[in-house]
């Protein structure tokens, strides 16, 4: 079932002279894990803003076309109503902070309190999420006294705990080291197994290649590519849009240039091992 449907959506922020999203068509099926890539200012955050109703409800500006989320017409639905369906993790994790809570534990509970969830259930859900994200040790810390990486995990926790069907996660690993980044991808992968739909804006292309099912490339407010990760991330044309290819794809393309008959361009290490192994079996020179 399609849980997000954008038809011919164009949008312009009030202070912008030109459109910031242009004729965007997008259908997302329930349970998909989609990565959105593209250079700075391509419109990735704006796309998230449209899906969660902030553009135009909060930012104002002009939107044409239609936006449906979980069957709701976003243009006719209040942001508060949509927040049941869509959780958004901010690009800058410090913006996620409510600023009214004295501990990380209370901060993560805050959204559930606002929904009037019984206390016992709040404790259970918060405990589960802080263990999942490996941040139980931060529970008593002040939310304003966290490092960038810690703050990013707390921001993610405060959304996951709400259990929205759709998660929009805007560059959640910018402050994280490789291990922290891998952890976040594993968490999203696990949420996918629980049936959540995730749209992840992310620059770390090797991790995207490893985990995402589908990749959307944006440029100048348009969706310029949309397809299976293996197809999109093995295309050298991506480089023209200011996006790098996975290391293994670059290696595969280079090997082909050297004349090795690689059947397909790998985008993950596992795929590279298979592709290169096949060459050896065929006596392709390795
Ligand atoms: N609140 C705003 N008001 C006016 N213009 C905006 C606003 N937010 C973004 N823009 C403009 O919209 C365009 C798309 O910006 P957006 O933030 O969606 O890009 P992005 O792909 O998320 O970039 P980044 O990788 O830097 O986060 C840019 O030209 C930007 O300057
Ligand atoms: Mg952005």
> Ligand 1: which residue has its CA nearest to atom 25?
40
Q: Say which ligand is closest to the CA of 42.
A: 1
Ligand 1 atom at shortest distance from the alpha carbon of 49 = 18
Q: Which residue minimizes the CA distance to atom 2 of ligand 1?
A: 13
pLDDT at 282: 65
Q: Which ligand is nearest to the CA of 55?
A: 1
Candidates 120, 106, 53; CA nearest to 82 is: 53
Backbone angles phi, psi at 190, to 5 degrees: -70, -40
Is residue 40 in contact with ligand 1, taking CB distance under 6 Å?
yes
pLDDT score for 285: 52
Domain boundaries, the chain: 1-85+166-234, 96-163, 246-286
- 15 Cβ inside 6 Å of ligand 1: yes
Residues 6+ apart with CB under 8 A from 150: 135, 138, 141
Ligand 1 contact, 49 CB (< 6 A): no
> What's the confidence (pLDDT) of residue 9?
98
Q: Could you please report the per-residue DSSP string of 187-220?
A: HHHHHHHTT-EEEEE---HHHHHHH-SEEEEEET
Residue nearest to atom 7 of ligand 1 (CA): 13
Contacts of 201 (CB under 8 A, 6+ apart): 35, 36, 37, 44, 45, 48, 91, 168, 169, 170, 171
Q: Domain 1-85+166-234: give its CATH superfamily.
A: P-loop containing nucleotide triphosphate hydrolases (3.40.50.300)
Q: Is the CB of 59 under 6 A from ligand 1?
A: yes
pLDDT of the residue at 132: 87
The b/e string for 148-171 (b: 16+ C-beta within 10 A; e otherwise) is ebbbbbbbbbbbbbbebbbbbbbb
Distance of CA 263 to the CA centre of its chain: 30
> What pTM was estimated for this model as a whole?
0.92
Per-residue pLDDT of the chain (286 residues; tens, 9 = 90+): 799 999 999 999 999 999 999 999 999 999 999 999 999 999 999 999 999 999 999 999 999 999 999 999 999 999 989 988 999 998 887 788 888 889 999 999 999 998 889 999 999 999 999 998 889 999 999 999 998 888 889 999 999 999 999 999 998 888 888 888 888 888 888 888 888 999 999 999 999 999 999 999 999 999 999 999 999 999 999 999 999 999 999 999 999 999 998 989 999 999 999 988 888 766 655 5
Measured distance between the N- and C-terminal CA atoms of the chain, rounded to whole angstroms: 46
What pLDDT sits at residue 83? 87
């Amino acid at each position: 079932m399609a849980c997000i449907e954008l038809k011919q959506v164009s949008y312009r922020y009030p202070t912008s002279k030109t459109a910031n999203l242009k004729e965007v068509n997008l259908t997302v099926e329930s349970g998909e894990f989609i990565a959105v890539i593209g250079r700075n200012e391509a419109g990735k955050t704006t796309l998230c803003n449209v899906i969660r109703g902030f553009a135009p409800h909060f930012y104002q500006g002009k939107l044409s076309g239609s936006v449906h989320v979980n069957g709701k017409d976003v243009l006719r639905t209040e942001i508060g109503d949509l927040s049941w369906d869509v959780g958004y993790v901010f690009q800058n994790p410090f913006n996620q902070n409510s600023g009214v809570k004295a501990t990380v534990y209370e901060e993560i509970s805050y959204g559930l309190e606002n929904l009037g969830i019984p206390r016992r259930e709040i404790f259970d859900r918060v405990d589960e999420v802080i263990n999942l994200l490996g941040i139980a040790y931060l529970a008593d810390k002040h939310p304003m006294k966290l490092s960038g990486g810690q703050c990013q995990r707390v921001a993610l926790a405060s959304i996951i705990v709400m259990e929205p069907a759709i998660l929009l996660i805007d560059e959640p690993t910018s402050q994280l080291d490789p291990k922290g980044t891998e952890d976040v991808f594993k968490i999203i992968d696990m949420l996918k197994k629980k049936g959540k739909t995730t749209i992840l804006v992310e620059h770390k292309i090797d991790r995207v290649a490893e985990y995402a099912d589908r990749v959307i490339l944006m440029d100048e407010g348009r969706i310029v590519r949309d397809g299976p990760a293996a197809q999109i991330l093995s295309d050298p044309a991506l480089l023209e849009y200011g996006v790098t290819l996975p290391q293994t794809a670059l290696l595969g393309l280079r090997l082909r240039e050297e004349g090795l008959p690689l059947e397909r361009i790998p985008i993950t290490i596992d795929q590279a091992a298979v592709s290169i192994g096949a060459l050896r079996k065929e006596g392709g020179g390795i």
